[in-house]
Each structure stands twice: as C-alpha cells, then as structure tokens.
Amino acid sequence: DVDWLEVNFTAGPGDAACDVKVYVSPSVEGLEVTIGLVELVKRTALVLRDVEEECEMAELQRKVEEAEDRRRTSERKVRDSLRRKEELERAREAMLSLPRICASSPPSAHPQSPVQPPPAAPLMMMEMVGAGEHAE
C-alpha cells in the first residue's frame, strides 16, 4: 500500500506564474519524475510568458501603425483643404477684378444711363463662389 504525497508549488515569474499540484509516489523514482515535471512546468510557464509578451508587442505595433495612418490621413486632409482654400481665394480675387474690367471699358461700348446698376453677372458669380466655400 503506497501513500501519495501532494506537492504544491508556483511555477513561472510574475503574471505568468501558475499554481501546480502534483501527487507523487514517495519512492525515489517518483521523486525524480516529479522534479522533471516541475522543471517542465517552469519552462512552459516561461514560454507562455514570452508568447504573451510577443502578443502584447504585436498589438502595440498594430495600434502604432493605425495611429500613423490616421495622422497621415489628417495631414493629407489639411493639405487638401489648404489647396482648396488657395484656389478659392485666387478665384475670388479674379472675380473681384471683373467689375474693374467692366467699369474700365469705354462708355460707348456699353450704353447705360447713370442711374442703372452695374451688370449683375459678376455679382452672381461671386455669390456662387461664396456658396461653394460654405458647402465644404
């Protein structure tokens, strides 16, 4: 009749540690097998810790890459907005110069009475450009 020994130990450092309970025959052979099992459990706990760290690093790397993608997208949007703003400003300046061109044309080409307002076309174009600025 053999009595079995209960051996409790913690394998692995820190968060990777695990509590292990082994029942061992009180013979020399049983003790040698138990020591081998303890070493195996410790090595397994260390491997699991390394795998966990690698998974955490991969997750962090993925998050960094996503953040860099968002930053590049934001920078591109800012550049596009600045380019559109410059284009609209140039168009606005060109349209503002139109009334001066119309006003500087000789009076004989556009017979008007002094009471008539200037032609409405340049004003309508300015309103269209103004509406485009607010549409973004």
Residues in the chain: 136
Task: Tell me the DSSP string of the chain.
Answer: --PPEEEEEEESSGGG-EEEEEEE-SSHHHHHHHHHHHHHHHHHHHHHHHHHHHHHHHHHHHHHHHHHHHHHHHHHHHHHHHHHHHHHHHHHHHHHHHHHHHHHS-TTTS---TTSPPPSHHHHHHHHHHHHHHH-
* pLDDT mean over 84-97: 91
pLDDT in tens, 34-47: 677 777 877 887 88
Closest residue by Cα to residue 38 from 62, 68, 8: 8
What span, in angstroms and rounded, lies between the C-alpha atoms of 91 and 133? 11
pLDDT in tens, 35-82: 777 778 778 878 888 888 888 899 999 999 999 999 999 999 999 999
Give the CA dihedral 65, 67, 72, 77, nearest 10 degrees: 150
pLDDT at 113 over 90: no
* pLDDT mean over 99-121: 55
Please, how many CA atoms are within 13 Å of residue 118, restricted to the half-sphere of its CB?
12
Average pLDDT, the chain: 72
> What's the pLDDT at 88?
95
pLDDT in tens, 6-22: 555 565 555 555 555 66
- In this prediction the pTM is 0.41
pLDDT at 84 over 70: yes
> What's the pLDDT at 50?
85
